[in-house]
Homo-oligomer: A and B are copies of this chain.
């Protein structure tokens, strides 16, 4: 697959890259960032467009400046598995394969900074600190993948959906927003393909949580958390810290 990582909150605005602020590029030291922005070329995508296409040479990486994307695999028989959702500031790169086994699909309007993998590799070779920080980032990503494995393997539908809402809100706050309400940038089917369910089951789970008073749904693509403690309990979100993809 590929590295999909969210970069630090700590670091720099990304004007040179995105034209709007984003907190990104945490894995690179200052020289690295300077070099990086020299290489970057920006591109916009609309809903349903592939930013990276599955089965194409794994020679491109990108940084999501604005909007959202899903990383997914599509089999010959038409089965879909979403591996991750990307938020502004998230990074996609580093398949070990010569060809991407997964594609990245724009959910709505997207701005992305594309760069070649070769350039990125060179950059990383030159800046040891960047490589080390990236290694730590990848370790965190591995943690989150294990979390996903647990969710897929050992939770039932309601628990999966509860954990997912927890994850959505975690991301929302991590991106600097406040409040108990957050947007849902992906479709029910996308959520289902992430959690190993059907769209109908996702919908049913949402209504169940709404009926129980745990959440409310002012609109289909907006969720308000009314009882965070119970949501977390239902979702079996244990890991105190890195509650990435629950």
Does A216 count as interface, using CB distance less than 8 angstroms? no
User: Nearest B residue to A121 by beta-carbon distance?
Assistant: B132
Does A29 count as interface, using CB distance less than 8 angstroms? no
* B124 pairs with A75, CB closer than 8 A: no
- Which residues of B have CB within 8 Å of A97? 143, 239, 241-242
- Which residues of B have CB within 8 Å of A73? 146, 150
* A3 pairs with B124, CB closer than 8 A: no
Q: How far is the CA of A1 from the CA of B148 in the complex (A)?
A: 11
- Which residues of B have CB within 8 Å of A1? 142-143, 145-147
Closest Cβ of chain B: how far from A75's Cβ, in Å? 6
Q: How far is the CA of A140 from the CA of B96 in the complex (A)?
A: 5
Q: How large is the interface on A (under 10, 10 to 19, 20 to 34, 35 or more residues)?
A: 35 or more
Q: How far is the CA of A195 from the CA of B153 in the complex (A)?
A: 7
User: Nearest B residue to A101 by beta-carbon distance?
Assistant: B239
Q: How far is the CA of A77 from the CA of B145 in the complex (A)?
A: 21
Closest Cβ of chain B: how far from A78's Cβ, in Å? 10
Instruction: Point out the residue from B134, B142, B149 that lies within 8 Å of A81, measured CB to CB.
Output: B149
* B142 pairs with A141, CB closer than 8 A: yes
Closest Cβ of chain B: how far from A198's Cβ, in Å? 11
Digit string of A141-161 for contact with B (CB within 8 Å is 1, else 0)?
A: 111011111101110000000
Knowing A125-B132, A196-B154, A236-B75 are in contact, say whether A149-B146 is a contact too (CB < 8 A): no
- Which residues of B have CB within 8 Å of A194? 153
Knowing A75-B236, A96-B136, A131-B128 are in contact, say whether A3-B80 is a contact too (CB < 8 A): no
13 contacts between A and B (CB under 8 A): A1-B147, A2-B139, A75-B154, A79-B236, A94-B139, A97-B242, A128-B131, A138-B142, A145-B145, A145-B146, A152-B153, A153-B195, A153-B196
The 7 tightest CB contacts between A and B, nearest first, are: A153-B196, A1-B146, A96-B140, A152-B152, A145-B145, A96-B139, A81-B150
Given A83-B150, A94-B139, 5 more pairs with CB closer than 8 A: A73-B150, A80-B154, A101-B146, A125-B132, A145-B146
